[in-house]
Structure 1
Amino acid sequence: MGSAQTQGELWGARAREWADLQEVSFGPLYDAALNAAKAATGSAVLDVGCGAGLALKMAQARGAKVTGLDAAAGLVEIARRRCPGGDIRLGECEELPFADNSFDVTTGFNSFQYATDPVHALSEAKRVTKPNGYVVVAVWGAADQCELAPYLAAVGKLLPPPPPGAPGPFALSAPGALEALVGKAGLTPGAIASVITTMRFPDEATTVRGLLASGVAERAIRNSGEDAVRKGVSDAVRPSRKGDGSYEFKNEWRFLLSRA
């Protein structure tokens, strides 16, 4: 059994806030990854864990034929509206409902690591990607290059106790970790690239509302209560407040370009 039901409930709980307040900041990451994978007119692109569909919208603007899959019904609805003509489905990343060798490019932006079995999820990505096609896996960069690291730490303290040995949010940013993961799935790892994204909010209330929109934050809310999570997030990010009351967070992301 995969993780779709659990992750779908968590990431879909505040779908509109995610789409409007968080996802917009990932544009530079999506653009760089699509460039590296040569997504263009005529390409068939699949985004696994497509969220609210911004990466697919950008691929579609390049002339690609786009397909997306996500576990959260609310996010899928937004993605469908954003990508008219795209094939956006609700589903499980470990059981992709697509034929072998269907796509030129398969992407997973901060998604494969949420699978119950990430290696199996990546094996599915390999299966549906054409031979020698690209599979792109994006994860957080180094913790010391992520200004949201205090937020992640604060939320982490309010989550249920993890199983012994459970990886943290930056586990795949360690040297060689991402290459080893995709290698276990039979993919051929290529180059790793880093991209800095910037998340901006006009005030504290919007900052907290935006940062509560992730599935991880929702899990903390269900474990510790919304008041506790709001306070934890507010306290953690307050040092980033600018003189005009706005907030800005620069974060490193890394993506690995591998071959099927």
Structure 2
Amino acid sequence: MTPTPTAVNTARDWAEIQERMLVPLYEAVYDRLELGPGDRVLGLDCGAGLSLLLAAGRGARVTGVEPRPALRALARERVLEVLSGPPESSGRPYDLLTAFAPAPGALAAALPRVRRGGAVVLAGWGPPERCTVPAMTDPGGAADLDGLVERAGLSPEGSGRVFCPFGYAEVGSAVRGLLSTGLYDLSDPGQAEKELAEELHPYERPDGTVWLPNIFRYVVARVA
């Protein structure tokens, strides 16, 4: 029997199974902005902190914001500075603010910490017809990233699309990974697992692996 998901279990599944699926998105953003030594990065809703680790690997100084205690604890295990909310003061302003799963309230609270001319990157699902997982879960379509930029008073600079396939060794790990995303109703965990496993069968390959192609979109804006 599959264990009932808990906040700790799903956080661990996110860190061990799911989080790496977004590496192409993180790397594309950092490449575009030429992130490097001396840059200060503030990552909103940073989860277990993989995006911050990649930025730190390029020489950036990183701080994360993660309101969920279980994910925040995992990020801190990676020796990252991760807060429960946007820093009240940061000394030198940040050069880059990332919101790979943007929440308007957190974005508004964090923007005063970014320097004038600093970059803000928002990201989310691409076109529904190019995203296997949203087509399965029906989360309401792609986020209105351009609308968020406009409402935040930012100056749009450009956008991009990144191929982020979700690949799993077998259906069981795919179920665990996808349930950790927060896209699914876990009020009845057993039923959610059963239904998801059934929906995954068309994406199961002859060798038992599961392959879910997805496109993500990001927008780059500047603080005026």
Provide TM-score, normalisation by structure 1. Answer: 0.78
1:198 equivalenced with 2:194 (yes/no): no
1:236 to 199, 209, 213: 199
Task: Name the residue aligned to 2:221.
Answer: 258
Task: Give the drift of 1:207.
Answer: 1.2
Taking only the aligned residue pairs, the percentage that are identical comes to 32
Task: Name the residue aligned to 2:82.
Answer: 88
Partner deviation per Cα, 1:17-41 (whole Å, 9 max, x = no partner): 0111110111110011112233210
Given that residues 168 and 209 in structure 2 are in contact (C-alpha distance below 8 angstroms), is that contact kept between their aligned partners in structure 1? yes
1:97 equivalenced with 2:87 (yes/no): yes
Given that residues 44 and 106 in structure 2 are in contact (C-alpha distance below 8 angstroms), is that contact kept between their aligned partners in structure 1? no
1:70 equivalenced with 2:33 (yes/no): no
Moved over 4 A (4+): 10-13
Task: Give the drift of 1:87.
Answer: 1.9
CA–CA separation in structure 2 for the residues paired with 1:204 and 1:87: 34
Task: Give the drift of 1:12.
Answer: 5.5
How many positions carry a matched residue from both structures? Answer: 217
Given that residues 154 and 221 in structure 2 are in contact (C-alpha distance below 8 angstroms), is that contact kept between their aligned partners in structure 1? yes
> Structure 2: which 5+ runs fail to align?
1-5
Partner deviation per Cα, 1:159-201 (whole Å, 9 max, x = no partner): xxxxxxxxx1x242xxxx4222211111111211000012111
> Structure 1: which 5+ runs fail to align?
1-9, 113-117, 157-167
RMSD: 1.8
CA–CA separation in structure 2 for the residues paired with 1:25 and 1:75: 17
CA–CA separation in structure 1 for the residues paired with 2:201 and 2:189: 18
Partner deviation per Cα, 1:43-84 (whole Å, 9 max, x = no partner): 0001000001000000000000000010111111211222x3
CA–CA separation in structure 2 for the residues paired with 1:124 and 1:183: 16
Task: Name the residue aligned to 2:3.
Answer: none
Task: Give the drift of 1:148.
Answer: 1.4
CA–CA separation in structure 2 for the residues paired with 1:151 and 1:78: 28
SS at match of 2:195: helix
2:97 to 100, 106, 125: 106
SS at match of 2:34: coil
Given residue 213 of structure 1, which amino acid in structure 2 is its aligned partner? S
Task: Give the drift of 1:245.
Answer: 0.8
Task: Name the residue aligned to 2:117.
Answer: 132
1:37 to 30, 33, 49: 33
Task: Name the residue aligned to 1:187.
Answer: 154
1:171/1:26 CA distance change after superposition, 3 Å: closer
1:212 to 179, 194, 199: 179
Given that residues 130 and 215 in structure 2 are in contact (C-alpha distance below 8 angstroms), is that contact kept between their aligned partners in structure 1? yes
Given that residues 128 and 142 in structure 2 are in contact (C-alpha distance below 8 angstroms), is that contact kept between their aligned partners in structure 1? no
Greater shift, 206-215 or 239-248, is seen at: 206-215
